[in-house]
Amino acid sequence: MIISSMIVTTETGKAEDIALQLKRIPNVTTHGVYKGDNIIVVMEAEKEEDLVNLSRYIMNEYPDVIGTFPAFISSDEE
């Protein structure tokens, strides 16, 4: 299992709405909005590629998302 925390940056005034939508994505947990336009997110996946795909999905699915920025990545694999 790989866990990644990241910041999802949005257009001004869109973070609350997008945070609610992100809660519907499996393996994605939101932990609130920070400084107005940044959503704190934790994602879980079996493979690194799945994390990359989740990040790309968020970027492509939500036009008000400016970027996804990993802050921490951890794996329980040796």
Global model pTM greater than 0.85: yes
Domain around 32: 2-75
- Tell whether the model's pLDDT for residue 74 goes beyond 80: yes
pLDDT of the residue at 3: 95
Of 3, 8, 2, the residue nearest 20 (C-alpha): 8
- Do 3 and 44 form a contact (C-beta atoms < 8 A)? yes
In tens, the pLDDT along 6-51 reads 999 999 999 999 999 999 999 999 999 999 999 999 999 999 999 9
Distance, CA of 51 to CA of 57 (rounded, Å): 10
pLDDT of the residue at 76: 82
The domain that contains 52 carries what CATH number? 3.30.70.920
- Tell whether the model's pLDDT for residue 78 goes beyond 80: no
Pick left, alpha or beta for residue 10 (phi over 0 → left; psi -120 to 50 → alpha; otherwise beta): beta
Domain count within the chain? 1
